[in-house]
Chains A and B, each alone.
Chain A
Amino acid sequence: MAEQTQVLRIKRQETPNSEPYYEEFEIPYLPHHNIVSMLMEIRRNPVNRKGKRVAPVVFNANCLEEVCGACTMVINGRVRQACSQLANGLHGPATVEPMTKFPVVRDLWVDRSKMFDHLKKARAWIPIDGTYDLGPGPKVAPDVQQFAYLFSRCMTCGCCLEACPQFNSHSKFMGASVIGQVYLMSQHPTGKMNLDERLDAMMAEGGVADCGNAQNCVEVCPKDIPLTTAISAIGRQTTIKWLRDLFMK
């Protein structure tokens, strides 16, 4: 009996400015393989389907448990983490491509540093007085914690941006994940105190008003974060703040 195999059609690109091309690899099939373990298999034997020895495919991956966000790729046209895409869910040859909204470093590795810059712009942190011992934090009701926790699991993986029609390499829109983080900060009793600073960032260029309401973000979020809830809440709050600023002047 012929050995069962899995074919991966991988979009490759040697440098940020070189032409991309597709290359196919055939890997012995194991039901518990996932895209990352198959890429690791290619590293052990980097021979393409034409039998040619090639440079192993370059990719980013770290935790392999879908909590770090590193291995985000486009698999059969859908953005997701590669580690949790099992071989037994592929049903035939699979196309693996780098995310399209971020600059390619090489092969499947993209540069998402822009997302971290956005977190800086949005001042997405709780400005504590200091790290010395100041006793317990504020009380938080269990239902508030449960709700906020949904947003605190955002891995900055960029799926929401890949799927967003408003986000691309030349637009200023910061996208859903950072809005989710601003919303998360507004749920915390201390974070609430500085909400205005973050709303300013959300009202500036690339802020919440640039959302086109396509709602793709919430569809593709691997952690099922209710991003559209955050977008509409922050949208409302920026409107209120805009009116307030108008009358306070």
Chain B
Amino acid sequence: MPGHHIIVGGGLAGLTAAMKLAERGEQVDLFSIVPVKRSHSVCAQGGINGAVNTKGEGDSPMIHFDDTIYGGDFLAHQPPVKAMCEAAPAIIYLFDRMGVMFNRTPEGLLDFRRFGGTKHHRTAFAGATTGQQLLYALDEQVRRYEAAGQVRKFEGWEMLSLVQDESGNCRGIVAIDTRSLEMRAFPADTTLVATGGPGLVYGRSTQSLVCTGSAVSACYQAGSTYANGEFVQVHPTAMQGEDKYRLISESIRGEGGRVWTYRDGKPWYFLEDMYPAYGNLVPRDIATRAIHKVVFEMKLGVDGNPLVYLDVSHLDPVELNRKVAGVLEIYEKFSGQDPRKVPMKIFPAMHYSMGGLWVDYHQQTNIPGLFAAGECDFQYHGANRLGANSLLSCIHGGNICESAMINHAKSHKSAASAQIFDQELKRQRESFDNIFKMSGPENAFAVWRELGDIMTENVTVVRYNDKLKATDNKLLELKDRWSRIGLNDKGKWANQEVLFVRQLWNMLELARPITLGALNRNESRGAHYKPDFPERDDANFMKTTMAAWSSDGPRFSWEPVDVSLIKPRPRRYDIDKSAA
């Protein structure tokens, strides 16, 4: 008899897993708040890495592996990263076969471009909407299985919590229909959470509005370990906005874009100056800190504002349109200026969480039967993610969990008691009844803005222990004020406010391991930078931060990093990696 699986999240990781499980004859229930085709994966622009070596540069999966580990500042467990890099070429070929319109060389082969943190042309791309194109290909394949009856989609449903049996095994979920607000318990042999990153914990980020981290927080509160939460990538080049910070892809620099600002009345290409070996294509944490330094320490922001230029106006507009039109169109639409003629004004913005749910090498969390894949797991990027590795890790994670999920389903066939589902459903109904009664003076969306502002100010590029402590105190204050929220919408139909109030609580819970994880880590590594502890400290901190939820706040423990394959060495980008 086929196993029955729940997948929460219909982005690249979730859809990949759905396709793989359905191909093996399994039954899948797929939950997504938005129609899966509108998932956040569509925002990924630049491309997907795989050492296919079609440019005669001597690239190989082993070099990709080394770049990824080095770029991640030796915090990722090495065996799963190696497996991912080895799988990458076949993943790109698979998507090519599924009809993704990747850019081509004159011979009709896949074209590759350069991205940050590497010297090789390793990034396959479909214009500058690669994430969208990959997602659509998966959407089509999963629709094929949906038409065949193997995948049932629950679009417009949001996961609320896990259902666990007496031994702690995950036996399914409770979810809510965001239209009717009907709550139901869904049993399954295994559950995969593939719900992406926690961008909204930072208020405005490059992430989409569904990226609240709420489902991940629910797993964390149910006992799933949250690992390396403090490692949050701030992308160096984003447009500032009232509603979000719009990503301007690294592919812009991969295609020759230069970052500069005025110094002594003349353009200063500071990345090229500071990092001659990699120039504009240093990894994101390095570029972000350089921009911060230029703007805040040297006071050289454009017109005195926290902005610098990202410039493609010297490049051939025809070639730009062929390779990065999607990005340039976004800038043009939202700024009203043509970046082919005028340099873009950009500033760093929260972009990606390297941390996430702790998983083993088969994507299983510490809760048996609960799996995680995609941005919401912690596995592949260490202390900093290289550009175009995220699409890869999403698909790879979704790819490899299938066997472990099927095995788990086979070995846990005994039916769970109906009681555990009723209990959890009752608990969730009570929690919503309580939210509906809220009538205090606070506005949920205003509290959220405060959360985002303080997290952005203190838990992004530069971190100080006193400010991190103050941030955690603020989080406690916001949790207290949460209970004094007043609902403006008491409606029982498609009430987005009531759903958001619950998501906000989960964001506040998740913000704590992120903030306190940063407080605990007294070193600088990858995206985590403390001026008071400017060096990497392998003796004390080459370990995974493991946060376990408790009602008194996160409890921390540490896990050693598996560095059995590549010996840790200092990470430098001013000189060639091979020389470092």
Q: Are B101 and A119 in contact (CB under 8 A)?
A: no
Q: Are B333 and A66 in contact (CB under 8 A)?
A: yes
Shortest Cβ distance from residue B1 to the other chain A in the assembled complex, whole angstroms: 22
* B90 at the binding interface (Cβ < 8 Å): yes
* A70 at the binding interface (Cβ < 8 Å): yes
Q: Are A40 and B23 in contact (CB under 8 A)?
A: no
* A205 at the binding interface (Cβ < 8 Å): no
On chain A, the residues within 8 Å of B333 by CB distance are: 66, 84
Residue of B nearest to A18 (CB): B493
On chain B, the residues within 8 Å of A139 by CB distance are: 104, 107-109
A137 touching B109 in the complex, CB below 8 Å, given contacts A68-B38, A126-B140, A131-B19 = no
Interface segment, B64-72, B76-84, B129-137, B418-426? B129-137
Q: Are B242 and A37 in contact (CB under 8 A)?
A: yes
Number of interface residues of A (CB under 8 A): 73
Complex CA–CA separation, A64 to B146 (angstroms): 28
Q: Are A156 and B99 in contact (CB under 8 A)?
A: no
Q: Are A30 and B242 in contact (CB under 8 A)?
A: yes
A44 touching B242 in the complex, CB below 8 Å, given contacts A130-B23, A131-B23, A142-B108 = no
Looking at chain A's contact residues, the main secondary structure is loop
Q: Are A106 and B99 in contact (CB under 8 A)?
A: no
Residue of A nearest to B487 (CB): A55
Q: Are A119 and B143 in contact (CB under 8 A)?
A: yes
* B141 at the binding interface (Cβ < 8 Å): yes
* B268 at the binding interface (Cβ < 8 Å): no
Complex CA–CA separation, A15 to B334 (angstroms): 33
Our pick among A34, A105, A190 for the contact of B99 (Cβ within 8 Å) is A190
* A4 at the binding interface (Cβ < 8 Å): no
Complex CA–CA separation, A190 to B140 (angstroms): 14
* B488 at the binding interface (Cβ < 8 Å): yes
A135 touching B93 in the complex, CB below 8 Å, given contacts A55-B488, A55-B491, A126-B99 = yes
Complex CA–CA separation, A46 to B488 (angstroms): 8
On chain A, the residues within 8 Å of B132 by CB distance are: 67, 153, 155
Shortest Cβ distance from residue A31 to the other chain B in the assembled complex, whole angstroms: 9
What is the interface of chain B, defined by CB distance below 8 A to chain A? 19-20, 23, 34-35, 37-40, 42-43, 90, 93-94, 96-110, 126-127, 129, 132-133, 136-137, 140-141, 143-144, 146-147, 155, 179, 208-210, 240-244, 246-247, 322, 326, 330, 333-334, 336, 443, 445-446, 449, 488-491, 493-497
- 11 A-B residue pairings within 8 Å (CB atoms): A45-B443, A58-B496, A84-B334, A86-B334, A120-B147, A135-B93, A137-B97, A141-B104, A152-B100, A153-B127, A155-B38
For the complex of A and B, 4 pairs with smallest distance between CB atoms: A137-B96, A139-B108, A37-B243, A125-B140
